Amino acid sequence: MNHPSSAKFALGQTVGTPGALEAIHPEDVSRSLQRHSQGDWGDCGEADRQENELSLQEGFRLFSVYHDRNGIKFWIITEADRSSTTILLPEDY
């Protein structure tokens, strides 16, 4: 069960690339942002998971990978200073 108060870090200003906002269902964006803030890194690989855990402690960038209800792969990246979080498609990077 997800609890909004269980966020592990601040997302800062949340933005999305035009391609991502057009392609991904808004409910999937919202759900994934919540998961990301709680330290559920989605479908990223083990090396990225380990890097995220270190990044939580050391204040580095955080990276998650998710798929929406239509199978569209997208990323969520929170900057090291936690000032902003971006939703983007891999091709937007």
Question: In this predicted model, what pLDDT tens digit does every residue of 6-19 receive, in sequence order?
Answer: 999 999 999 999 99
Domain hosting residue 84, numbered range: 12-92
Give residue 30's Cα distance to chain centre: 10
Indicate whether 1 belongs to any domain.
Answer: no
Q: Is residue 2 part of a domain?
A: no
pLDDT the model gives residue 3: 45
Whether residue 75 is contained in a domain is answered as: yes
- The verdict on residue 33 lying in a domain is yes
Question: How many domains does the chain fold into?
Answer: 1
- 36 in a structural domain: yes
Average pLDDT over residues 31-41: 97
- Residue 5 has a pLDDT of 61
Residues with Cβ within 8 Å of residue 35, at least 6 apart in sequence: 2, 42, 64, 66
- Tens of pLDDT, residue by residue over 51-88, are 999 999 999 999 999 999 999 999 999 999 999 999 99
